[in-house]
Amino acid sequence: MRKLSFIVLVIVITGSGCSSMGVQPWERDLLAKKSMKLNPDYLDNFFDEHIYFSKEATSGGQGVGGGGCGCN
Amino acid sequence: MQLKKIKGQMSLAAGVLLQVSSPSSQAQGSEWDVDSAVLLYSEGDGRVSAFEPAIYAGRDLQYGDRIDLRLVIDALTGATPNGAYATSQAQTFTTPSGNGSYTTKAGDTPQDDTFHDTRVAIGADWTMELDRLSKLTLGANLSTEYDYTSLGISGTYARDFNNRNTTLTAGLALNNDLIKPVGGLPAELMPMVTQDSPLNRDGDSDTKVITDFLVGITQVVDRKTIIQINFSLGLTDGYQNDPYKILSVVDTNGDLASTGIFNTGTTGNLPYVYEKRPDSRQRNSLYFKTVHHFEEDVINFSYRYYWDDWDITSHTLDLKYRYQLAESYLQPHIRYYMQSAAEFHTHNLLLGTDVDTAGNVLLDYASNDYRLAESETLTLGLKYGIPMGENSELSMRAEMIRQTVTDDSNVPAAEATPDLDAVVLQVNYSFVW
């Protein structure tokens, strides 16, 4: 329950602060670069998720979907 | 000064407009963004090796829609620890099929070296622009290997706010997995038997259903910084054992059990039992990522905190720093991961305490899978990328992974789980077609 309260608090603080952040459309030159994507190396990330999924007890967090495997 | 600033902003705006209208990024429906790669993964000491070619292709369609496709083939060979631990004598185990056996030398960690498989995974995502500010992505995935099939669907809704500086995301994924182990499903917490004896089995196959929810917010902070925060909730119901993992049963002297039901000569039972995990698991994670552009370089950092009702918590830190050289770039990578143990993770089962004289295991669940132990993983890597033309890039990366089980403090050194060392080599070629 304390963890859930913390998450709600983070979302509220983040959400309330968002309106004062950001850029105008003509200030998106750097943000438009591939290297500024949240996941710029698609296949690297795909491989890494697969490797660590098969070697560690925990996974996920970045998104949903992607499929499972019976990895040993 | 003011004029100079306005002039700078005007040229930036013109640059952005020109970029938006360029053929490569507009929804012309004529070009595929393709990323192809080959990955070699190799663990030391004769453990798992993998060869993985993969291809991803994405294409903009009409009306702001987009399609993304991927194909991965994963050929695996090598040995994997079976859950028993090293002893001062050689140990013989029966293969999963029951038709063969393998022997581990005295002092070595037992590993099942009959492991080899080829996995084929395909996936597709269709992104639809619902209106000017919102998108829906529908996805489907199929992964199949000899003893495992996974079929999944997903949907992610994303809506922009605040002049497109804030994006709220909500996602749902459903997976239905079929587990069909070699030799059938081992009877949980029942003994492994000698080669060609009647196997302790409980059917041929089982399933599990995985449901994942995600809510997230992505925020443009300023011209050089973007952040993302996700909360995920996952529910897994069904068969979650590793059907090939066992635990050693020891007597009060610390030797492998050899009396009563574990008297192999009279019963055919070996002093090992198959693991058992709960059939439900609730997983949660809080994920934070930020990308920041320096003068030329870019830093990409993420942190994930994970917890579940198997009593596992984990922390994952991941940092990539892209040094921009003249044309090419160099990208060091460091990842650190630590997890606590599952509440039912145990090094062995003690006869008389965990197992009664009739061979009944008195614990609800038990596993000595090293992946459920308290552990940490350190990854160090380096990537080099160089443009090969206007829209293509060649890149190579090498990574070293070391995984250490850290809760072996009460375990004799000879029985401790050895470190896992792995090397990853990967070559990528991306182009527009």
What is the complex's ipTM, to 2 decimals?
A: 0.89
Mean pLDDT, range B224-240, rounded to an integer: 97
Query: Count of alpha carbons within 13 Å of B9, Cβ hemisphere only?
Result: 12
pLDDT of residue B25: 42
Residues B120, B108 contacting (CB under 8 angstroms): no
- Mean pLDDT for chain B? 91
Q: Between chains, do B285 and A46 touch, taking CB under 8 Å as contact?
A: no
Length of chain A: 72
Can you tell me the distance from the alpha carbon of A46 to that of A31, in angstroms, rounded to the nearest whole number? 23
When CB atoms are compared, the residue of A10, A22, A33 closest to B163 is A22
pLDDT of residue B5: 45
The residue among A41, A49, A59 with the most chain B CBs within 10 A of its CB, best to mutate, is A41
Residues B138, B124 contacting (CB under 8 angstroms): no
* Interval B247-277: pLDDT, tens: 999 999 889 999 989 999 999 999 999 999 9
Residue B403 tokens, joined: 């995984």
What band does A55 get if pLDDT is binned at 50, 70 and 90?
Answer: very high
* Count of C-beta atoms within a 10 Å radius of residue B381: 19
What band does A13 get if pLDDT is binned at 50, 70 and 90?
Answer: low
Among B171, B282, B290, B172, smallest CA distance to B229 is for B290
- Alpha-carbon distance A53 to nearest alpha carbon in chain B (angstroms): 10
pLDDT of residue B26: 43
DSSP classification of residue A25 = G
> Which residue of B lies nearest to A33 if distances are taken between CA atoms?
B293
* Interval B152-194: pLDDT, tens: 999 999 999 999 999 999 999 999 999 999 999 999 999 999 9
* Count of C-beta atoms within a 10 Å radius of residue A20: 7
Q: Does residue A11 surpass a pLDDT of 90? A: no
pLDDT of residue A6: 61
Cβ of residue B114 closer than 8 Å to a chain A Cβ? no
Percentage of chain B beyond pLDDT 70 is 93
Cβ of residue B374 closer than 8 Å to a chain A Cβ? no
> Which residue of B lies nearest to A27 if distances are taken between CA atoms?
B223
Percentage of chain B beyond pLDDT 90 is 79
Mean pLDDT, range B347-361, rounded to an integer: 91
pLDDT of residue A4: 60
- Alpha-carbon distance B144 to nearest alpha carbon in chain A (angstroms): 8
pLDDT of residue A17: 64
Q: Does residue A20 surpass a pLDDT of 80? A: no
Q: How many CB pairs under 8 A join A and B?
A: 224
- Three-state SS for A36? helix
Q: Between chains, do A65 and B426 touch, taking CB under 8 Å as contact?
A: no
Name the fold adopted by B54-432: Maltoporin; Chain A (2.40.170)
